[in-house]
Amino acid sequence: MTTRIRVCHLYPDQLNIYADRGNIAVFRSRSERRGYELEVLGVGVGEVLARDCDLIYLGGGQDREQALIAPDLARRGEEISMALEDGAALLAVCGGYQLLGRGYRDRTGVEMLGAGVLPLETVAGDRRMIGDVSIECELEPDEMLTVVGFENHGGRTRLDPGAAPLGRVVHGFGNDGDSGFEGCRLGKAIGTYLHGPLLPRNPWLADWLLAQALGRRLGEVPELEPLDDELEYQAHAVALGRARERGGKFR
Rounded to the nearest integer, the mean pLDDT of the chain is 93
What is the Cα–Cα distance from 157 to 95, expressed in whole angstroms? 11
185 pLDDT exceeds 60? yes
pTM higher than 0.85 for the full model? Answer: yes
Helix, strand or coil for residue 154? Answer: strand
199 pLDDT exceeds 60? yes
Give the pLDDT score at 51: 80
Choose, from 53, 94, 137, 184, the residue flagged as catalytic. Answer: 94
Helix, strand or coil for residue 138? Answer: strand
What is the Cα–Cα distance from 41 to 39, expressed in whole angstroms? 7
Q: Is residue 8 among the annotated active site residues?
A: no
Output the 3-class SS for 84-131. Answer: HHCCCEEEEECHHHHHCCCEEECCCCCEEECCCCCCEEEEEEEEEEEE
What is the Cα–Cα distance from 213 to 149, expressed in whole angstroms? 23
250 pLDDT exceeds 80? no
Q: Cβ distance 170 to 136 under 8 Å?
A: yes
Q: Is residue 94 among the annotated active site residues?
A: yes
Task: Convert the pLDDT of each residue in 39-87 to its tens digit.
Answer: 999 999 999 888 899 999 999 877 787 888 899 999 999 999 999 999 9
Give the pLDDT score at 18: 66
Domains of the chain, start order: 4-246 (3.40.50.880)
Query: In the chain, where does DSSP find H-type helix?
Result: 20-32, 63-75, 77-85, 95-99, 203-218, 230-246
The pLDDT confidence band at residue 5, using thresholds 50, 70 and 90, is very high
What is the Cα–Cα distance from 215 to 202, expressed in whole angstroms? 20
Task: Convert the pLDDT of each residue in 15-45 to its tens digit.
Answer: 887 667 889 999 999 999 999 999 999 999 9
Which of 207, 140, 196, 206 has its CA nearest to residue 172? 196
What integer is the mean pLDDT of 8-15? Answer: 90
Geometric angle at alpha carbon 108, from 106 and 109, rounded to 5°: 70
What is the Cα–Cα distance from 240 to 100, expressed in whole angstroms? 28
What integer is the mean pLDDT of 181-193? Answer: 97
Give the pLDDT score at 108: 85
Q: Report strand pairing: 143-159 vs 120-140.
A: antiparallel
Give the pLDDT score at 224: 97
225 pLDDT exceeds 80? yes
The DSSP secondary structure of 196-220, one letter per residue, reads SSSGGG-HHHHHHHHHHHHHHHHSS
User: Which has the higher per-residue pLDDT, 245 or 107?
Assistant: 245
Q: Cβ distance 93 to 44 under 8 Å?
A: no
Choose, from 153, 171, 195, 236, the residue flagged as catalytic. Answer: 195
Task: Convert the pLDDT of each residue in 142-167 to its tens digit.
Answer: 899 999 999 999 999 999 999 999 99
